[in-house]
Amino acid sequence: MTGLVPYLVNGGMAAVIAAAFMAGLIYPRSIIEDKNQQIRELSSALALERQRSDAAVAAAAVTRDILLALRGGSNANMAETERQAYPGSSSPGGT
């Protein structure tokens, strides 16, 4: 009987590890490495997207300034023109 105890303990530990693996509590190292690689790729893609967004905002501001200069007015004149074009609203979108 005492010779059976180590086998039962080892079998019990193996069963606990197998159950944790099947329940998703233990992951293979390759899955963790793949996940970390994906996180790095998505982080770099997000950084590029933020740069593109900043560039688009800057381009829109420059375009607005150019149009304003072509009209020969100021921001106040542009706001007044928009109010005349869209009566009854505080902005062109009506919000």
pLDDT tens-digit profile of 13-38? 999 999 988 888 888 888 889 999 99
- Give me the pLDDT at residue 78, please: 62
Predicted TM-score of the model (pTM): 0.48
Tell me the domain boundaries of the chain: 28-85
Residue pointed to by tokens 């593109």: 52
CB 8 within 8 A of CB 14: no
Ramachandran angles phi, psi of 86, nearest 5°: -130, 75
